[in-house]
Amino acid sequence: MLALALALVLAPAARAADPSPATAAGGAGQGLTLRTDDDRYALKLQTRMVPRVDLVSLPPEAVAAPEEATLTRATIATARLWLGGHVFDPKIQYMTQLAYAARDYRDGTISPLFDAYVDAPLGRRGLRVRAGQYFVRFDRLRTVREFALQLTDRPIAVGELTLDRDVGVTLYDDALFGDESPLALHVGLFGGRGINQVDARAPAGGLAVARVELRPLGPIDDDSEGDLQNRARPGLALGLGGAWNHNTWRTRSTTGGAFTDAPVHYAHAVADAIFKWRGLSLAGEALLRTQHGAPNPEGRPGHGAIVQAGYHFRPGIEPTARWSRVRAAPDAGVAFRDEAAAAGNELSGGLNWYINGHRFKLQTSGIGRFTPDWERASLTFATQLDASF
């Protein structure tokens, strides 16, 4: 918080003045932006919704009666509202995101708040500070924005081993040695218990995260899956991240239920890569979570991997496929070992029709979760309309 306060002090001071006239602008999938003529204030409003239908097939041993092995579900998978912009100067940005569909209320949360942060420059060119609640910059395939995914669901390894959102402060520079630098660095300190946590817990804890990124071939839109632009030049992004979550009470570090006994220390590591060229997109990620301190029977140490590929055919058709897996470590609790043994492998495939890029698309995915020996599977066939306005 001290870094953010310093950034605001160094920024142009607010001056008492008559309100400036304002204009409005918008576009399909871009929301509506209100901006004062002097550009000292802007507010952007945008919304997104995802109607979805699922057909689910479960293995016989997972149900009590044969008629329960096939399920259907029609729902609004997510509904979002963004309010963001800048104040005093275009470089001082803010954003709030609300997620208010029923499926957005995960892990027993009672608040629709996903993001709420301020992002400002800190002294020198390129160095910035962000404070509030937002994505922990740890692994790339989690910080890719949800509306920019190639498949209807994130990989099983990301769901288990990522760090998701938390409350904290990050210092970062996306061009560490100047405007043309291929190197980026993010360092953050967080509460360590995820979003919308209001109760205090003893003993004290916290999450420290560092991530370095390299784009050796120049700029690349690595916060969006697929090569929808059919790049004429290849693009490559490489990332390494590490984290330490001290005394966390959440079973998956910053997500999942609460430990019933005592907190644990989790160490995290990730290596990831994204490549795009002429419509081809490739992504890969390896994740590791280890448990430290006194053994906890509910701990979830383990490792996972993801490989994902797609090919974008003009004008807007893209088949895509993914393999992912999760393995529990020998010192993991029984519950996690059983989950990994029942559905530790994932094979997925899908077909996308991009009507307005990622902002308006029709997606169909088939997602299989298998035992490690590939003998039994649960299957989900999902069709959804992902529409941003």
Across-strand partners of 369?
346, 378
Average pLDDT, the chain: 92
Amino acid at 240: L
Q: In the prediction, which pLDDT does 16 show?
A: 44
40 domain residue, yes or no: no
Tell me the two tokens of residue 227. 């090569």
Q: In the prediction, which pLDDT does 201 show?
A: 84
pTM: predicted TM-score of the whole model, two decimal places: 0.91
349 domain residue, yes or no: yes
178 domain residue, yes or no: yes
| Boundaries of domain holding 366 | 127-388
Q: In the prediction, which pLDDT does 199 show?
A: 83
What's the pLDDT band for 62 if we cut at 50, 70, 90?
confident
291 domain residue, yes or no: yes
Task: Kindly tell me if the per-residue pLDDT of 316 is higher than 80.
Answer: yes
110 domain residue, yes or no: no
Condensed to tens digits (0 to 9), the pLDDT of residues 321-355 reads 999 999 999 999 999 999 999 899 999 999 999 99
Give the range among 18-32, 144-158, 222-236 with minimum mean pLDDT.
Answer: 18-32
Q: In the prediction, which pLDDT does 15 show?
A: 47
236 domain residue, yes or no: yes
55 domain residue, yes or no: no
Q: In the prediction, which pLDDT does 116 show?
A: 98
11 domain residue, yes or no: no
Q: In the prediction, which pLDDT does 8 show?
A: 53
Structural domains of the chain, count: 1
Q: In CATH, what number is assigned to the domain containing residue 285?
A: 2.40.160.10
Q: In the prediction, which pLDDT does 18 show?
A: 65
Condensed to tens digits (0 to 9), the pLDDT of residues 290-308 reads 999 988 999 999 999 999 9
